[in-house]
Structure 1
């Protein structure tokens, strides 16, 4: 059984989750490959990670490939014309769109022309916006490959946008959003059978089941997994000594993906931090200079060193995730793995895995006031969540070996659905 994971690149939250699964499958003995469009680093044959490359053909192979390409262009002429019309409308709307990410279901390359995928048994899609030509991919995959798709955001079951948050903010694009959604739905129907959609949490599973794709996707709930080899745990006191943090200081950690992503509500951190002058805030990640600044804030910038990041998680008394909409943030899993509770709004995977008093606290009031009340609730709690209990919870729900086994079982079931 050969499984090929398809992801736009190897960086970012979705890619990190996909990469961890790939490594877990490799360690479990599965012939797993990780296939990306953007290199962003050197390929690693030992870890079976490769990037898309223009196929090298001899004269006869070039003629054959050209003929196949022309055949599929003829087969999908109507879809390509429809895509062009949507692209013209999209270009006209784009200057007025305010969104984290917007994408049409088109790409420059057809990945099924790559020899690596031609002999695959299972193609496991991950974050593939701008990577696959959906109007051609599902037709060519029909009867040839078993397909599954991990939904790292809502784009596979929506139109232009990747979260409801941006759909609501851009009513001027509502008609195009519906046109793109209908186009994607017709593309998926070409596969001829339901695509198995892997939801990392029950919220995402419900989104699939309530979407227009419900009849064409079989939703299963399998969460992300923890890193295969987490660092040996250190105590909170040891972590603080190494980071130069006062042992008696109350510390909150925020890992910022970007201050420009509105749904992440990073601005709430600054608004609330001023209300708790006795709390020290450690801020890691991408942010614009000046957007996060305060006498009780220490800015670390983007951290690529996993060991340093784990020290920050361990040194913090709690990790704050103020997203208004999210899936299953790796930050939450990484915090749990280090025994640190999470304070978040009750959205996405947080409402499922942030268990009040056990692994953290949540609030349904997604505002600065709500975050302030949440932090105060945590401070006033008679007993704080215990690090060992949180780590045990993380192993119970996100253990890499167990998650890999769940995927193996799913793959075996998928193989039985292909024509013999």
Structure 2
């Protein structure tokens, strides 16, 4: 059985990393997996880049630019430019050998000029079983990746808050209707969601409500993401031993408002006021400079973009807790990675985050948007009488629920079921 996974990115972004980790897990389990991406980040067995020659790479860049430019006339402002995808531009993936030779097609995150709606229709019409793992809400909305409280997708999009002129028959409505038309032909489509939260959102939608949905979490190599000594982790990152506890914040884009750094900043001020004896230092990794960094009451160390897995592992192990104040999220890789490293997580009770954190056992869950409760969570972890127990419980959860063999076998069983149905 040959399976081809399709993902815009290879080792960039949370969805690209999640797709690559699944590809590796499938191959370790004996599956015949190919991962088709826009371009390889680095050579890897079974990974095929759509853009290989210089000309193909130029055309890939052009597709990305055209895809983004197609939305500019409609966007409310620049802040939403990368939060909505009309999917009018894409490559002809249906003619690629990796697609033609596959027994099962497995879509992941395919936006930004990789797969257009026209291309999606061709894949649906191929007659092959199609699995679609959702990494955000885009598959069942009129174009937004996260609805941010809007529920139009349950009936029909229109009057979209991301658009400059939100009217009943706006761009979101047209994209929604085009998706609806495509999905009418999807007789062999099965949806996978990494979180139960996203499954419920998809089931409530008009676009995907009629399709079977299975929840399978993201995975990772727990021989790589594992506990190491805190002092060793600090030395690897070049961190001086100040004796302070450390709080870690990380994201692909730390300036994305959805990731909630401003709530973390507010929580730190509250922590400083109500627990003055706690004097943590703050570690931040990811793209972009956090906007309140200079105003924080504690020292902050910007680790930048960490591309080496050993450095990422060191960052989790150097910290006493990971802080995830996301306002909306599916199943963040940062939480999955932190748990595997045995580092407790403090976050908001939103999306799939509560499915990974057992409150007061492996971390702390706070009400969404409450900086006061987030500060309580930081204090709880930093004052915990037995932090070793909490770290052990986090690691044990990852071993039970997120192991490569567990996740790979769940997918292989699904592929076999679809092939024989």
Range with bigger deviation, 264-273 or 92-101: 92-101
Tell me the residue number matched to 2:62: none
Range with bigger deviation, 197-206 or 297-306: 297-306
Tell me the residue number matched to 1:198: 192
Range with bigger deviation, 359-368 or 377-386: 377-386
Range with bigger deviation, 393-402 or 272-281: 272-281
Give 1:134 shift.
2.4
Tell me the residue number matched to 2:100: 118
- For residue 230 of structure 1, give the secondary structure of its aligned residue in structure 2: coil
- For residue 217 of structure 1, give the secondary structure of its aligned residue in structure 2: coil
- How has the CA–CA distance of structure 1 residues 272 and 40 changed in structure 2, closer, same or farther, with 3 Å as cutoff? farther
- How has the CA–CA distance of structure 1 residues 330 and 365 changed in structure 2, closer, same or farther, with 3 Å as cutoff? closer
Is the Cα contact below 8 Å between 2:286 and 2:306 reproduced in 1? Answer: yes
Is the Cα contact below 8 Å between 2:349 and 2:367 reproduced in 1? Answer: yes
Give 1:298 shift.
1.1
Is the Cα contact below 8 Å between 2:91 and 2:119 reproduced in 1? Answer: no
Tell me the residue number matched to 1:189: 184
- Kindly indicate whether residue 74 of structure 2 is the aligned counterpart of residue 93 of structure 1: yes
As a proportion of its length, which structure holds more helix?
1
- How has the CA–CA distance of structure 1 residues 281 and 97 changed in structure 2, closer, same or farther, with 3 Å as cutoff? closer
Q: Distance in 1 between matches of 2:368 and 2:217?
A: 26
Give 1:305 shift.
1.7
Give 1:187 shift.
0.9
Deviations along 1:342-372, whole A, 9 cap, x unmatched? 0000011111111112210111141433422
- How has the CA–CA distance of structure 1 residues 31 and 397 changed in structure 2, closer, same or farther, with 3 Å as cutoff? same
Tell me the residue number matched to 1:80: none
Deviations along 1:27-66, whole A, 9 cap, x unmatched? 11111001012x253443xx111112599xxxxxxxxxxx
Q: Distance in 2 between matches of 1:316 and 1:221?
A: 30
Tell me the residue number matched to 1:398: 402
- How has the CA–CA distance of structure 1 residues 154 and 230 changed in structure 2, closer, same or farther, with 3 Å as cutoff? same
- Kindly indicate whether residue 334 of structure 2 is the aligned counterpart of residue 331 of structure 1: yes
Q: Distance in 2 between matches of 1:13 and 1:338?
A: 17
Q: Distance in 1 between matches of 2:99 and 2:366?
A: 45
For the pair shown, the structure with the greater C-alpha radius of gyration is 1
Of 95, 108, 116 in structure 2, the residue corresponding to residue 133 of structure 1 is: 116
Of 366, 371, 396 in structure 2, the residue corresponding to residue 368 of structure 1 is: 371
Tell me the residue number matched to 1:209: 203
Q: Distance in 1 between matches of 2:92 and 2:322?
A: 41
Is the Cα contact below 8 Å between 1:194 and 1:218 reproduced in 2? Answer: no
Of 120, 135, 139 in structure 2, the residue corresponding to residue 156 of structure 1 is: 139
Unaligned runs of 5+ in 2: 54-67, 151-159, 273-278
Tell me the residue number matched to 2:13: 12
Give 1:321 shift.
0.5
Deviations along 1:390-409, whole A, 9 cap, x unmatched? 11110101000110000000
- For residue 369 of structure 1, give the secondary structure of its aligned residue in structure 2: helix
Q: CA RMSD in A?
A: 2.7
Q: Distance in 2 between matches of 1:123 and 1:194?
A: 10
Q: Distance in 1 between matches of 2:167 and 2:355?
A: 30
Q: Distance in 2 between matches of 1:6 and 1:184?
A: 18
- How has the CA–CA distance of structure 1 residues 151 and 178 changed in structure 2, closer, same or farther, with 3 Å as cutoff? same
- How has the CA–CA distance of structure 1 residues 90 and 241 changed in structure 2, closer, same or farther, with 3 Å as cutoff? closer
Give 1:381 shift.
4.9
Is the Cα contact below 8 Å between 2:140 and 2:208 reproduced in 1? Answer: no
Tell me the residue number matched to 1:227: 221
Tell me the residue number matched to 1:306: 309
Of 159, 174, 182 in structure 2, the residue corresponding to residue 179 of structure 1 is: 174
Give 1:166 shift.
8.2
Give 1:236 shift.
2.5
Give 1:102 shift.
1.4
- How has the CA–CA distance of structure 1 residues 369 and 109 changed in structure 2, closer, same or farther, with 3 Å as cutoff? same
TM-score (norm 1): 0.83
Tell me the residue number matched to 2:288: 287
Unaligned runs of 5+ in 1: 56-86
Q: Distance in 1 between matches of 2:299 and 2:142?
A: 42
What is the number of residues matched between the two proteins? 383
- How has the CA–CA distance of structure 1 residues 281 and 260 changed in structure 2, closer, same or farther, with 3 Å as cutoff? closer
Tell me the residue number matched to 2:56: none
Tell me the residue number matched to 1:67: none
Is the Cα contact below 8 Å between 1:195 and 1:216 reproduced in 2? Answer: no
